[in-house]
Amino acid sequence: MALFAASRNTMNKTSHAVFKFLRHGRGACSSTSPSSESEFREKLRAFPGGSIDLVKRESGIAVLTVNNPARMNAFSGGMMLELEERITELEAWSEGKGLILQGAAGTFCSGSDLNAVRAISNPQDGMKMCLFMQNSLTRLLRLPLISVALVEGMALGGGAELTTACDFRLMTAGGVIQFVHKHMGLVPGWGGAARLVRIVGSQDALKLLAGAKKVDLDFGKQIGLVDDVLGPLAGEGTALQEAEQWLNQFTKGPAAVIRAAKRVVVSGRELPLVEALRTERDVFGTVWGGPANLEALARKSKHK
């Protein structure tokens, strides 16, 4: 037990820095000055409409809904600000294990609100919007929760980018992910290209971006962008219920262990090897000799 206690004390010091890294968007993007950041927030506030809704369930699974059905769940400026607030709430949710990101009313998200896009169409504001969304989506992907984008209907432009800020993507029949940026004379700017390359590799990422190719169920599974299919093909129930069942295979069990699993994967994905190994030791120290570990030892578990 002394070993466990010592290990946890050491971890407490080192892990503080590590968890700060894992929790926040640090390292994702360079920052702007506080005054220009608050000015830009004011600009975003000038484009209201829609909401980002968060429900945290007893099961440890939260549901985050992009809610602006009159505009096919396009992201208004106000929704960008709300997304950031909801992510801060999720970062503080210590009992959480999983997250489902969905769109309201049977479709996922049609990207930026084109009314806002037209009004801030100068490069400076465009880059500020990218920085803002990159930070939020980096924090979303780094949450110590197993996250799933539930793609019903269309995920276009920024909506396609949003799907890549989750660990997994589930799709229902008729679902489409399409990086339509090329057709808008754009490339992704919310971090979607960088994440896409890590998910499907550079060859397929180039096909999706330079060809604005539609990704349906079959193509999505073939290139590894879609992890599984939901809906009539998979069984009964609403897509959200099915997504919860699907996620449950990864979230059942103690929160500390599931959150630790996500943390070691995030550090393995983002950090150079030596730092990732150090982080892995630190995270290991949070579960070694912890309640779940001691219970398993007492049970003399067999893994047959």
Ligand X SMILES: CCC(=O)SCCNC(=O)CCNC(=O)[C@H](O)C(C)(C)COP(=O)(O)OP(=O)(O)OC[C@H]1O[C@@H](n2cnc3c(N)ncnc32)[C@H](O)[C@@H]1OP(=O)(O)O
Burial of 215: CB neighbours in 10 Å, binned 0-12, 13-18, 19+: buried
Closer residue to ligand X, CB minimum distance, 98 or 158: 158
Smallest Cα–Cα separation from 58: which of 12, 96, 6? Answer: 96
Question: Is there a contact between 149 and 110 (Cβ–Cβ < 8 Å)?
Answer: no
Closer residue to ligand X, CB minimum distance, 110 or 286: 110
CA distances from 76 to 112, 117, 202 (A): 7, 9, 30
What does 131-148 look like in DSSP terms, one character per residue? Answer: HHHHHHHHHHHHSSSEEE
Closer residue to ligand X, CB minimum distance, 114 or 127: 114
Closer residue to ligand X, CB minimum distance, 134 or 251: 134
* 155 is a site residue for ligand X (CB under 6 A): no
**Least distance in Å: CB of 172 to ligand X?**
16
Q: Which stretch binds ligand X (CB under 6 A): 66-74, 118-126, 137-145, 274-282?
A: 66-74
Q: Which stretch binds ligand X (CB under 6 A): 106-114, 237-245, 276-284, 288-296?
A: 106-114
* 184 is a site residue for ligand X (CB under 6 A): yes
What does 224-291 look like in DSSP terms, one character per residue? Answer: TS--EEESTTT-SS-HHHHHHHHHHHHH-S-HHHHHHHHHHHHHHHHS-HHHHHHHHHHHHHHHTTSH
Query: Which residues have C-beta within 8 Å of that of residue 301, sequence separation ≥ 6?
Result: none
- Strand intervals (E) in 58-145: 61-67, 98-103
Interface residue with ligand X among 43, 71, 213, 278 (CB under 6 A) is 71
**Least distance in Å: CB of 140 to ligand X?**
15
Closer residue to ligand X, CB minimum distance, 190 or 246: 190
* 103 is a site residue for ligand X (CB under 6 A): no
Q: Which stretch binds ligand X (CB under 6 A): 47-55, 77-85, 105-113, 239-247?
A: 105-113
How many Å from the N-terminal Cα to the C-terminal Cα in the chain?
28
Smallest Cα–Cα separation from 92: which of 135, 137, 62? Answer: 62
* 180 is a site residue for ligand X (CB under 6 A): yes
Query: What distance in Å separates the CA atoms of residue 136 and residue 138, rounded to the nearest whole number?
Result: 6
Which uninterrupted H or E stretch holds 77?
A: helix 77-91
* 111 is a site residue for ligand X (CB under 6 A): yes
* 158 is a site residue for ligand X (CB under 6 A): yes
Interface residue with ligand X among 18, 72, 217, 223 (CB under 6 A) is 72
Which residue, judged by CB position, is nearest to ligand X in the bound state?
111
**Least distance in Å: CB of 192 to ligand X?**
8
Closer residue to ligand X, CB minimum distance, 18 or 154: 154
Query: What distance in Å separates the CA atoms of residue 102 and residue 53, rounded to the nearest whole number?
Result: 10
* 102 is a site residue for ligand X (CB under 6 A): no
* 110 is a site residue for ligand X (CB under 6 A): yes
Q: What's the token pair of residue 62?
A: 């939260």
Closer residue to ligand X, CB minimum distance, 161 or 270: 161
Question: Is there a contact between 187 and 193 (Cβ–Cβ < 8 Å)?
Answer: yes
* 229 is a site residue for ligand X (CB under 6 A): no
* 149 is a site residue for ligand X (CB under 6 A): no
Give residues in contact with ligand X (CB under 6 A).
Answer: 71-72, 74, 110-115, 117, 154, 156-158, 180-181, 184, 186, 190
